[in-house]
Structure 1
């Protein structure tokens, strides 16, 4: 996994700046990302130069899992909660910079945030006119995950992953 703060200078020079198709030879193919990640972890533990390795999700799908039915009550409740969080944040900021009545500033932000959240959620749900009466969560998933390696070390990587495939599965913790 990459660091959100970026890598060293050499890593930044190695990564392409624009979206670029991956290069390398396939050394393993896995049904889940977790299995592909475990394979790369094994390569790293085996002192393999993992900077030559890329995990590629193939046959991408957008999976939308339905969580529940949407109603006016749920829409307004979600709007009130998100508005309350925003209002508390705004009230906290206001209270820090106004010299009087910190609790009053916090309460004002909370109340105004809840009202704004209710208003915007009511408008949004009302405008949908029943076309989408469910809530869901979307996820991008691949049909399989290929581990690619640069040609100079591909054979060595294939050999190591063959050893991993022969190991008995670890017992659940």
Structure 2
């Protein structure tokens, strides 16, 4: 009887699928994408929801130099010497009675055998491959993907360098944005209507005394 959890994990390993989500940033090199993920990790972002996807994979072979007889012999001797030291140390571990002279002899035999093997291989393949190289598989661009519900937070963290924007205090209003030159000028504020002047007092009639001013 099989366990469902183990079967799901095995299927996930055997049949990998492309991650799904929202692209928050795209870079030209992998170190830049890795640095962006480090920024999210330092900001306590759930990095288990983050993926780096490389697009347009290309195989690049960088030529490091030209093969020569001396170079081939030296490389073969070095690899053979390491093999001889390995077998000599194994014999010392399992047979304490073996002296260090045996290890030195194994080293020399391994270096000689490796040098001979390298020279013979170079003599056979000289016309077909006369240079050394390093092969790499690189991508043209690298995209950082996160879950769709975390896309805005990831963009804000990358834009601010990993610093969370503080929430506005209650009752606080953001300052007015500067006006762009192409925007129309704001409308002038409506002016209050002028206050009505008090009615003029009628002149006193003939023979009447004018009213006394208020105290």
Give the structure-2-normalised TM-score: 0.65
Q: 2:105 aligned with 1:105, yes or no?
A: no
Runs of 4+ in 1 over 4 A off after TM superposition: none
Q: 2:140 aligned with 1:143, yes or no?
A: yes
Q: Is there any run of 5+ residues in structure 2 with no aligned partner, and where?
A: 1-8, 163-215
What is the Cα deviation at residue 57 of structure 1?
1.5
Instruction: Tell me: higher relative CO, structure 1 or 2? Use CA pairs within 8 A at least 6 residues apart.
Output: 1
Find the aligned partners of 1:127 and 1:109 in 2 and give their Cα distance.
Answer: 27
After TM superposition, the structure 1 stretch with the greater mean CA deviation from structure 2, 150-159 or 37-46, is 150-159
Q: Which of the pair is proportionally richer in strand?
A: 1
Q: Is the 8 A contact 1:96 1:102 kept in 2?
A: no
Q: Is there any run of 5+ residues in structure 1 with no aligned partner, and where?
A: 1-12, 166-173
Aligned counterparts, 1:88-127, within 5 A: 88-127=85-124
Larger-Rg structure:
2
After TM superposition, the structure 1 stretch with the greater mean CA deviation from structure 2, 35-44 or 16-25, is 16-25
What is the Cα deviation at residue 55 of structure 1?
0.8
Aligned counterparts, 1:144-163, within 5 A: 144-163=141-160
Find the aligned partners of 2:116 and 2:21 in 1 and give their Cα distance.
Answer: 53
1:56 to 53, 62, 73: 53
Give the structure-1-normalised TM-score: 0.79
Q: Find the counterpart in structure 2 of residue 27 from structure 1.
A: 24
Q: Is the 8 A contact 1:92 1:105 kept in 2?
A: no
Q: Find the counterpart in structure 2 of residue 16 from structure 1.
A: 12
CA RMSD of aligned residues (A): 2.3
Q: Which of the pair is proportionally richer in helix?
A: 1
Q: Find the counterpart in structure 1 of residue 66 from structure 2.
A: 69
CA offsets 1:117-155 (integer angstroms, 9 cap, x no match)? 123212321221321111111222211110011112122
